[in-house]
Amino acid sequence: MPREISIKQGESLLLTLTFLNDDGSAVDLTSVGLASQVRTPAGDLVATLPVVPSIVLNVATVEVDDTSLWPLGMLRSDISVTIGARVALSETFGIRVNRAVTQ
C-alpha cells in the first residue's frame, strides 16, 4: 500500500488491496471483518469505505463512485482486519484530494 495516493475531487476512487500473513502466505478473507474510514487530520469522518473481498483468496477492493464532497487537502485512512478476537490495522496512508482542473 502506498503511503499516499492522490485523487481529484469528484473522481472515482478504486483501490485493490492484497492481504498477506507475516510469513507471506495469503490471508483467506472469507471469515474476516474488513473496515476502513477516511478522516481529516482533525479526526472528522469524511467517508466509511466499503472494503469488499474479491473471488481471489487474499484480495479486496475499495470503490467509491463519487468523491465530490470530500474536502481538498490531505486526508488519512487505514484498513482494519478482524479475525476472531484479533484486530490488525494497516499502516496509515494519506489520500491527497486535489481540485479538478476540468469542471
Phi, psi angle pair for 29, to nearest 5°: -90, 5
Q: For residue range 44-95, list pLDDT tens digits in order.
A: 999 999 999 998 889 999 999 999 999 999 999 999 999 889 999 999 999 9
Strands 93-98 and 4-8, bridge-based pairing:
parallel
| Domain assignment of residue 38, given as a range | 4-98
Question: 4 has which bridge partners?
Answer: 94
Contact between 7 and 13 under an 8 Å Cβ cutoff? The reply is yes
Please check whether residue 81 lies inside any domain of the structure. yes
Residue 103 lies in a domain: no
38 contacts 70 by C-beta, under 8 angstroms: yes
C-alpha cell, 11: 473522481
pLDDT of residue 85: 92
Q: Is residue 54 domain-resident?
A: yes
Q: What single letter denotes the amino acid at residue 25?
A: S
Those residues with Cβ within 8 angstroms of residue 79's Cβ, 6 or more apart along the chain or in another chain: 1, 17, 34, 35, 36, 51, 89, 90
Domain membership flag for residue 79: yes
Residue 38 lies in a domain: yes
Total domains present in the chain? 1
Q: Is residue 83 part of a domain?
A: yes
Secondary element (H or E) of residue 82: strand 73-83
Q: Is residue 94 part of a domain?
A: yes
- Tell me whether residue 19 is in a domain: yes
User: Is the pTM here over 0.85, yes or no?
Assistant: yes
- What is the domain-level CATH number for residue 65? 2.60.40.10
